[in-house]
Amino acid sequence: METFSGYRRADGRIGVRNRVAVLPTSVAASAVADRIAADGGPRVTATPHQMGTEQPEPARRRTERVLAGIGRNPNVGGALVVELGTEAAGASAIADEIAAGDTPVETLSIRDAGGTRAAIDRGREAVDALLEEAARARLESADASELVFGVECGGSDATSGIAANPAVGNACDRLVEAGGTSCFSETPEFIGAEHVLAERCVDESVRERLLECVDRRESVADLMGVDLRGTQPTPGNQEGGLTTIEEKSLGAIAKGGTTPIRDVVDYADPLPVGGGLVVMDTPGYDVESVVGKVAGGAQVIAFTTGRGSTTGNPIAPVIKVTGNPQTSDRMATNMDVDASTVLDGESVEAVGERVYETLLSVADGTRTEAERRGMAEFAINELQPRELASLGDPT
């Protein structure tokens, strides 16, 4: 049996880390949240972001969903929600949702505290109390089937589709076989490969939702009146040999593996435990995409990168897998798994097994290179004015 030791939460789920998250509700509270977390040690992480104090309604709902989802991630043993005190997205609403998942949670209003200095002091006290509470979590043996594994690619090149993505896909297959959940996303990187994915959907309803998501993402280019090639593939992708979005997509979808697609969920929506392979509708912009999956409950992320992306996440460990031998060599201090051996003849299955073993080891507590270096990028995929306008009048 494939097991690891994790933190059993009150609702039965298992965390692979025991973090205290400091979650600002708006950009106005982000700097304070950052300062509160700065002195708390590696177990305390903040999620500073740039969402405004007065987002339009649909955008505000998304911000709240992401923050509540992050707070409910099983890797979080305690959460402090920080607000200025006048935001439309209030701390108490987000804290209530987090508390509904039985996670210890506190709120802090900068206005009520009497200013930034007092708020930072009070926040540090609250974090200390949450750390104590989190320390009481039981560390116990858990089964691989309890893992929700998010997979991502960023800074892709031609090796991503040939080596790293198929290897990570193989690890996804192994986890699904063991009864767990694997989640891949980045809908713009389905463009040109959606017919391959559509054939793998378990039923018509899942298929329809998947194709609808792809259509909507592709129409974003129409929304901006430009050619998607202006950003996809990116300059680094192109330098690495990727010519078109179709080519990038056909390589990108390999990271989800080969099992049937059981569901399609919206950005930051909860991911099922024991759910097989699930697609989340996210942008290809990797930091925002990873955040969506972590908000959905993913405890561990694998991130393939040919060129060498170095980003992490404040809540979930991020395993970096590269298929490019030069990147594996030159950026060894930022990479966790070398999949470039596929180009030398090692089988995808063998490299996939290494990725899977790394997944279980990281779940068991082994720190990733990004964790060691405190790389913890965070951004929320905000609904933007032109996107909102295209939704029409919600009322």
Partner 1 sequence: MTRERDADAETDSATGNAAATEPGAGTGFEVYDRDRDGVGVRNRVLVVPSVICSHTVADRIADAVPGAVSAPHDHGCGQLGDDSERTERTLVGVAANPNVAGALAVGLGCETVQSDRLAGSIADRGVPVEEIAIQREGGTDACREAGIGRATALRAQAETERERVGLEAATIGVVSSDCRPSSLESADPLVGRVVERIVDAGGRALVAGNERIHAHVGAVRERVATADARERFDGVTDRAYDSPAAVTATRKRAADATPERVRRLWGDRPVRDVLEYGERAAHETGVALVDAPSAFDEAATALAAAGAQVVIHVTADGIPTGHPIVPVLTVTGDRDTYAALRDDLDAFAGETTPGELLATLRGVLDGEPTRSERHGVTSFAITRVGPSI
Partner 2 sequence: MKGVVLDDAAVLLADGDTVATAITDLEAGRTIETEDLPDDRTVLEVAEPIAFGHKLAVTAIDAGEPIAKYGEVIGSATERIEPGEWVHTHNCESNRGRGDLAEGSA
If we measure between CA atoms, which residue out of 365, 331, 376 comes closest to residue 17? 365
> b/e per residue, 20-37, with b = 16+ CB within 10 A?
bbbbbbbebbbebbbbbb
Least distance to partner 2 from the beta carbon of 286, Å?
18
Closer by beta carbon to partner 2, 53 or else 326? 326
Closer by beta carbon to partner 1, 142 or else 163? 163
If we measure between CA atoms, which residue out of 8, 11, 51, 16 comes closest to residue 268? 51
Residues lying near partner 2 in the complex (CB under 8 A) are found at 157-159, 161-163, 166, 188, 191-193, 196, 218, 220-229, 232, 238, 240-241, 243-247, 250-251, 306, 324, 326, 342-343, 345, 347-348
CB neighbour class for 43 (10 Å; exposed up to 12, middle 13-18, buried from 19): middle
If we measure between CA atoms, which residue out of 112, 107, 87 comes closest to residue 95? 107
1, 333, 344, 345: residue in contact with partner 1 (rule CB under 8 A): 333
Closer by beta carbon to partner 1, 60 or else 209? 60
Tokens of 110: 């900068």
10, 100, 117, 141: residue in contact with partner 1 (rule CB under 8 A): 117
CA dist 286 to 2, 36, 228, 259, Å?
Answer: 29, 26, 17, 23
Q: Is residue 103 at the binding interface for partner 1, with CB under 8 A as the rule?
A: no
103, 313, 334, 368: residue in contact with partner 1 (rule CB under 8 A): 334
CA dist 241 to 87, 251, 306, Å?
Answer: 46, 12, 11
10, 12, 39, 86: residue in contact with partner 1 (rule CB under 8 A): 86
Least distance to partner 2 from the beta carbon of 341, Å?
10
Least distance to partner 1 from the beta carbon of 196, Å?
20
Q: Quote the CA–CA distance of 63 and 54 in Å, as a whole number.
A: 11
Q: Quote the CA–CA distance of 66 and 23 in Å, as a whole number.
A: 10
Residues 6+ apart with CB under 8 A from 344: none
Q: Is residue 383 at the binding interface for partner 1, with CB under 8 A as the rule?
A: yes
37, 79, 98, 110: residue in contact with partner 1 (rule CB under 8 A): 110
Window of 109-117, 123-131, 140-148, 169-177 that interacts with partner 1 by CB under 8 A = 109-117
Q: Is residue 237 at the binding interface for partner 1, with CB under 8 A as the rule?
A: yes
Least distance to partner 1 from the beta carbon of 392, Å?
7
Contacting partner 1 within 44-83 (CB under 8 A): 49-50, 52-58
145 binds, among partner 1, partner 2, none (CB under 5 to 8 A by kind): none
Contacting partner 1 within 290-309 (CB under 8 A): 307-309
Place of tokens 């998942």: 101
Closer by beta carbon to partner 1, 14 or else 370? 370
Window of 63-71, 95-103, 246-254, 372-380 that interacts with partner 1 by CB under 8 A = 372-380
Least distance to partner 2 from the beta carbon of 257, Å?
13
Q: Quote the CA–CA distance of 137 and 125 in Å, as a whole number.
A: 20
If we measure between CA atoms, which residue out of 21, 260, 17, 292 comes closest to residue 151? 292
223, 258, 343, 349: residue in contact with partner 1 (rule CB under 8 A): 223
Q: Which amino acid is at 250?
A: L
Place of tokens 């911000």: 63
Q: Quote the CA–CA distance of 142 and 132 in Å, as a whole number.
A: 23
275 binds, among partner 2, partner 1, none (CB under 5 to 8 A by kind): none
Q: Which amino acid is at 267?
A: Y
230 three-state secondary structure: helix
Angle at 270 between CA 16 and CA 178, to 5 degrees: 55
- Write the binding mask 150 to 179 for partner 1: x where contact by CB under 8 A, - elsewhere: ----xx------------------------
395 binds, among partner 1, partner 2, none (CB under 5 to 8 A by kind): partner 1
